Amino acid sequence: MIFKKSLIIGIGALFVLSGCHFTPLYRKEGVKDEQVVRYTRLIRVAPIADEIGQKMRWHLLDLLNPKKEKNPPQYVLKVELNRYVEREQGIRSDNTATRATMVMTAKYQLLESKTQEILIKDAVNTRASYNILTAPYATYVARREADENTVIVLSQDIALRITAFFKNKTLFHKKTDKK
């Protein structure tokens, strides 16, 4: 009985979503909408400070222009990364922490190259935890891995927001072209 209700609800949801022209914007294999890809491959990602910033830049380049097409940039993406340890927890008997939680914030702006008009100005953040071990190098590796994972999440979030912006822009142009 429960299976039948779930099946009916699932089929009903499919009809509702297909009726409103729902299409997923972000997929594992990247953006598929050709109109949006036309915009995202015209974005130049400005250099980001520090090693972790450069890793973020490469992730953004891969997400926004996966085919590595050489196009004259019409947009510039500027990103500023801030990382800080929010708190240390899991105290040992010698009063030292065993776990740390950090927050990484990426403030970004998407500008039009010629006019320097700000199209998007926003910030994204995420948290990650890592173990503080007795061996300093092991703690360094754990923190570095947490940094890298955080940068991947932030890059995906920024790319998703930019593609959503361009998706809305293409939908707006389609609607005004019909009038």
CA atoms within 13 A on the CB side of 176: 6
Q: What is the largest CA-CA distance in the chain?
A: 72
pLDDT of residue 54: 93
- Strand ranges inside 1-74, DSSP E: 43-45
Q: What is the DSSP letter of 69?
A: -
SS3 for 116? coil
| CA distances in angstroms from 36 to 25, 63, 65, 149, 168, listed in the order given | 10, 12, 11, 26, 9
Residue with tokens 């891995």: 145
pLDDT at 41 over 50: yes
Q: What is the pLDDT of residues 136-175, one digit of tens each?
A: 999 899 889 999 999 999 999 999 999 888 887 765 555 4
Domains and CATH numbers, the chain: 27-178 (3.30.160.150)
Alpha-carbon Rg for the chain in angstroms:
21
Give pLDDT, residue 131.
86
Distance of alpha carbon 100 from alpha carbon 85, whole angstroms: 7
Per-residue model confidence (pLDDT) at position 84? 81
pTM above 0.95, yes or no: no
Looking at residue 101, the DSSP 8-state letter turns out to be: E
pLDDT at 80: 94
Contacts of 12 (CB under 8 A, 6+ apart): none
Contact 79, 105 (CB under 8 A): no
